[in-house]
Amino acid sequence: MDYFSIAAMLTVLSAVFGYINVRFLKLPITIGLMIITIVFTLAVVVIGQFDDTLLLREKELITQIDFKTVLLDIMLSFLLFAGALHTNFAQLKVQRWPVFVFATVGVIMSTFLVGISMFYMLQLVGLEVDFIYCLLFGALISPTDPIAVLGILKKAGAPKKLETKIVGESLFNDGVGVVVFLTIFNFASSSSGNVEMMEIVKLFGVEVIGGILLGAILGWITYRMMRSIDSYEIEVIITIAAVMGGTHIAQNLHLSAPLAMVTAGLIVGNDTVRNTAMSELTEAYVDKFWELIDVLLNTILFVLIGMEMLVLTLEGSYIIAGLLGIPIVLLARFASLWGPIKFFDKKLEFVPNTNLIMTWGGLRGGISIALALSLTQEMHKELFLVITYIIVAFSIIGQGLTVEPIIKKLTKPKG
């Protein structure tokens, strides 16, 4: 099947499932699309017991798509730029230090807490897995997914201070999480089992700091170009060029493309740039274009996530491990946020029950699945893919459906 046929099929499915969601379910797009696709995939599997034509076609489609490459190397840059473009820059600037600590220290702490807990839990269910591979799983499941978070928080009605913390953290921690994952992956793949500390520092420095610096340069160049002209068509194209060209440069220089796109999006989207570089017409077109890109890629992404069910090895012990992994991941996130929140609560006024809300509102999504798919067979790919999928499905559907009432209840003024 050629690339156009795959893209056409995914777009058609996304349009049909999106219509069903808007017309009947009326759920946030990330939740609705995933539920509909899972139901559709299960129906195809059931029908396949009698006539496997449709099942074989769907399996052919999903096996020909390199989910990791499509998401991490192509879609993620567009989605993060679109998300950052509409993030409250002024509020993020106020909350920059807690967001930074959540996205760095929090991810690293969660990685180790999940890794240690999974190591002993897997032994209890009769699965012997080396600690380093459990730690690798901790790294891929710890970052919250900005795509899932942004899509659901738009309708959750969270206080602006709290929304900024959750969205800001999720925009940055996936880039940090990927670096942590790659560091542990290199260690696990090393034949000698040794990775020099300087190599780890260099990887962090080049990927994280380099990505942010590249994003700042791209954002500044984009701003200067948009300021010097008044043509909404060309200005929209300039933002597209910033994302596509910036991603290409980041990948070739081995910098973090996600962090570069987040930084560029925040610069282009902040009020100062909007007021000095964009006319009202340009601003409207830039916003609407990137909103449409955001919705289109989100629909395709969550259709893909739902269809990934077909590549799972659904053994009983794997499913039990996945179900037990849900509370482990939630508790690890709560514990990793507790210290930073206590520290910054003395300097910044936090919304009551911030830790509980950020724990429940920190959703996992496609990034975790993409990283799980990049594991080797030696790293227990089938086991961790099933566990990851169960946690992601619970996160998006279970947490996603309940985060709005939980936020309203926990932030409701007493009296």
Q: Which two tokens stand for residue 193?
A: 């089992």
> Is there a contact between 118 and 388 (Cβ–Cβ < 8 Å)?
no
Predicted local distance difference test score (pLDDT) of residue 197: 67
Average pLDDT for consecutive 10-residue bins of the chain (415 residues)? 88 96 92 93 92 89 90 92 88 89 94 97 96 96 82 70 85 86 85 63 81 96 96 97 97 92 94 92 96 91 92 93 98 96 84 91 91 94 97 94 87 69
Predicted local distance difference test score (pLDDT) of residue 345: 84
Domain ranges of the chain: 3-63, 67-410
CA dihedral 158, 163, 165, 169 (to 10 degrees): 120
CATH, range 67-410: 1.20.1530.20
Q: Measure the CA–CA gap between 247 and 251, rounded to whole angstroms.
A: 6
Predicted local distance difference test score (pLDDT) of residue 87: 86
Q: Measure the CA–CA gap between 162 and 175, rounded to whole angstroms.
A: 21
Q: What is the pTM of this model?
A: 0.93
For residue 290, give the nearest of 222, 338, 353, 389 by alpha carbon. Answer: 222
Predicted local distance difference test score (pLDDT) of residue 415: 53
